[in-house]
Amino acid sequence: MAEPAMIASVAVDIDIVWRRVSTDPSLAEVLDDRERERAARRGNPARYTTAHALLRTAVAEQVGGTPQAVVFERTCATCGSHRHGKPTVAGHPELSVSLSYAGGLAVVALSRGGEVGVDVEVVDDSDFEGFNAVTLDPSEAPALDRLGPDRLGVARALVWARKEAVLKASGHGLAVDPRQVVVSGPEEPAALLQWKGDVALSTGVQLADVPLTEPGHVAAVALLSDQPAQVRLVSA
Ligand SMILES: CC(C)(COP(=O)(O)OP(=O)(O)OC[C@H]1O[C@@H](n2cnc3c(N)ncnc32)[C@H](O)[C@@H]1OP(=O)(O)O)[C@@H](O)C(=O)NCCC(=O)NCCS
């Protein structure tokens, strides 16, 4: 009699590259004209410039060529427009990338094992009255409500980062209400517990917190995959 087939569960790599925001003028040389224009319109041009230079450099390291030669395309998961939405790398559909920048940090995630989404948050930005009402499914509230004020800020930021990472992996962003993305409590290992969005996801979702060492910031990364994920952290 034939032996039952064994399916090994191979971990999928997610590479995370992050760096502090810098005013080094050479970073802008890596950007294209559109990105330089967008940087100039931002309240914090250095943050945008650092983030996009980091994204270009990280992608070039994976696909070869120079950071300047990388071409990004965008597609909105909600309306199909190519003027906004999740970035993809032209000519490299096998590589998924995601970018996030906030406070003093820029973070990039890259994976060849499924759509990836990363989000970095400044702890103080999530620590406001009414957070539960705009962010949480009722089932998520008890895990936050029992925390004292000394732990609540980080907990809120972490839950928000987990939700946004999932929404960036799926490409919906905040076009899907974050209350429809039910994640594990802040003191539990990161996991997507339930997706209540109207359009079902085509695979499982792997979710992990990103162990940043920068005070006042937290981050999470999500991968659309049925395989377990392994996060490799690299500081640029
Ligand atoms: C994606 C989103 C959640 C990011 O918000 P944020 O916390 O302010 O910003 P972050 O720094 O974490 O991420 C910004 C990056 O996410 C990426 N991004 C933009 N839209 C994205 C999407 N739909 N899915 C995944 N990533 C997206 C871009 O690389 C963007 O950087 P850029 O604008 O400098 O090119 C928010 O911009 C959003 O919800 N956008 C989609 C809104 C939408 O689709 N509306 C419907 C239009 S029809």
> What is the percent of the chain where pLDDT is above 90?
91
**What end-to-end distance do the CA atoms of the chain give, in Å?**
54
> Is 168's C-beta closer than 6 angstroms to any atom of ligand 1?
yes
Span from the CA of 173 to the centroid of ligand 1 (angstroms)? 6
The full set of domain ranges for the chain reads 13-235
Say whether pLDDT at 219 is over 90: yes
> Is 201's C-beta closer than 6 angstroms to any atom of ligand 1?
no
pLDDT at res. 127? 84
> Is 45's C-beta closer than 6 angstroms to any atom of ligand 1?
no
Residue nearest to atom 37 of ligand 1 (CA): 173
pLDDT at res. 20? 96
Domain 13-235, CATH homologous superfamily name and number? 4'-phosphopantetheinyl transferase domain (3.90.470.20)
Contact 195, 205 (CB under 8 A): yes
Tens digits of per-residue pLDDT, 4-28? Answer: 455 567 899 999 999 999 999 999 9
pLDDT at res. 8? 62
Contact 71, 91 (CB under 8 A): yes
Span from the CA of 67 to the centroid of ligand 1 (angstroms)? 21
Span from the CA of 102 to the centroid of ligand 1 (angstroms)? 12
Tens digits of per-residue pLDDT, 60-110? Answer: 999 999 999 999 999 898 899 999 999 999 999 999 999 999 999 999 999
pLDDT at res. 2? 46
Say whether pLDDT at 236 is over 80: no
Q: Kindly give, in sequence order, each residue whose CB lies less than 8 Å from that of residue 210, ignoring residues fewer than 6 positions away.
A: 16, 18, 107, 118, 120, 218, 219, 220, 221, 231, 233
